[in-house]
């Protein structure tokens, strides 16, 4: 992966106008990329595999209709040797009744209807073998991907404005 996924996806060079603008807030840039790496590429993924993390991220990016992120998350699934999970992660209805299906359904609920998430949902994740660390990471991932989507949308709008000048 590149040093900055969003810049890679949008073709922003570090020294162009938008790259320079992003570097005016180096802490924000560093923390955003750090969160991406910790949530999707941790050195120790624990009981939430890299493939499961990428599938959940792909599910959220697809629901948000963010093609650039979806491409990146498909690549992570391929890299994890689980490219066959792409279709399941992107399906309108979550197929199956296995662990991945349960994770994707949780992502849908936490992402689209967070007020409905209850202790029963957390208990169901624990029953899948997830510990508190993985449950928190999963929930953070569900919240993080839409943040990336909004940054990409804002930067894309700025690119279009810049191109018209």
Query: CA-to-CA distance for 85 and 73, rounded, in angstroms?
Result: 11
Query: CA-to-CA distance for 145 and 141, rounded, in angstroms?
Result: 6
- On average, the pLDDT of the chain sits at 93
| pLDDT attached to residue 63 | 94
| pLDDT attached to residue 162 | 84
**Into how many domains does the chain fold?**
1
In tens, the pLDDT along 61-84 reads: 999 999 999 999 999 999 999 999
Please say whether the beta carbons of 130 and 114 come within 8 A: no
Mean pLDDT, residues 84-98 taken together? 91
Which pTM value belongs to this model?
0.92
CATH number at residue 97: 1.20.1290.10
| pLDDT attached to residue 1 | 44
Q: Is the pLDDT of residue 109 over 70?
A: yes
Radius of gyration in angstroms for the set of CA atoms belonging to the chain, rounded to a whole number? 17
In tens, the pLDDT along 43-52 reads: 999 999 999 9
Q: Is the pLDDT of residue 95 over 90?
A: no
Nearest of 38, 148, 55 to residue 106 by alpha carbon: 55
Q: What token pair was written down for 118?
A: 């209850």
**Maximal CA-CA distance, the chain:** 56
Q: Which domain holds residue 111?
A: 5-164
Of the pLDDT bands very low, low, confident and very high (cuts 50, 70, 90), residue 163 is confident
In tens, the pLDDT along 149-160 reads: 999 999 999 999
Other C-beta atoms within 10 Å of 23: how many? 13
Helix, strand, coil shares of the chain, percent, nearest 5, are: 75, 0, 25
């Amino acid at each position: 992966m590149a040093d900055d996924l969003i810049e890679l996806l949008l073709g922003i060079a570090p020294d162009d106008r938008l790259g320079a603008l992003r570097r005016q807030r180096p802490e924000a840039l560093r923390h955003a990329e750090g969160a991406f790496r910790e949530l999707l590429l941790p050195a120790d993924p624990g009981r939430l595999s890299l493939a499961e993390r990428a599938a959940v991220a792909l599910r959220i990016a697809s629901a948000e209709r963010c093609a650039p992120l979806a491409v990146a998350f498909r690549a992570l699934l391929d890299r994890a040797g689980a490219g066959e999970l792409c279709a399941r992660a992107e399906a309108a209805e979550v197929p199956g009744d296995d662990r991945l299906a349960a994770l994707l359904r949780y992502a849908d609920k936490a992402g689209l209807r967070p007020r409905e998430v209850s202790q029963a949902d957390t208990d169901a994740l624990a029953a899948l073998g997830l510990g508190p660390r993985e449950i928190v990471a999963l929930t953070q991932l569900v919240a993080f991907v839409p943040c990336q989507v909004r940054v990409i949308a804002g930067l894309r709008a700025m690119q279009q404005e810049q191109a018209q000048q």
